[in-house]
Amino acid sequence: MTSTLTNRFRRAARPPAAFGKNTRPGTTVTGHITAVAEEPKLKYGGAPDEVELDENGQPVTQLVITVHTPAGPRLLFVSWRMEQAIGQALEAAGDAEFETGATLSVTFTGPDPDYPKARMFTASYTPARHTNRGQ
């Protein structure tokens, strides 16, 4: 029980999520990447702290990217659709290396027309070596 409570308190003290369930389509979050972590994915609609498991009973993990925005740090909980958008942005930037210090911009474009519970995103990425030019 103590580790469950400790985990809940630690999550509560983290920066807020960049996108919530009431986020409107067209909302964009832009900032410098300050951290990237992989953590167990919580089960959608599950009990508090219930982790999603794969078919073998192993925890499913997800990427969590911290970006520093003008409003302060925000967390991007990377779904596979967001991951696709970020991957396309990396390709468009001509940069194969995802790195802290780079600028990441992610826009929630709306629900997937084929699966309304899923969200669609676009993204742009500027490598760190370009963000500090001229300063």
Give residue-wise pLDDT tens across range 20-77: 989 999 999 999 999 999 999 988 888 877 899 999 999 999 999 999 999 999 999 9
Residue 135 has a pLDDT of 43
Residue 63 phi/psi, 5-degree rounding, is -80, 145
The top-level CATH class assigned to 2-131 is mainly beta
Give residue-wise pLDDT tens across range 116-131: 889 999 999 999 875 4
Residue 132 has a pLDDT of 47
Residue 133 has a pLDDT of 45
- Between CA 7 and CA 39 the distance in angstroms is 12
Domain boundaries, the chain: 2-131
Characterize 19-41 residue by residue with b for buried, 16 or more Cβ atoms within 10 angstroms of its Cβ, and e for exposed.
Answer: beeeeeeeeebbbbbeeeeeebb
> 110 near 99, Cβ under 8 Å?
no
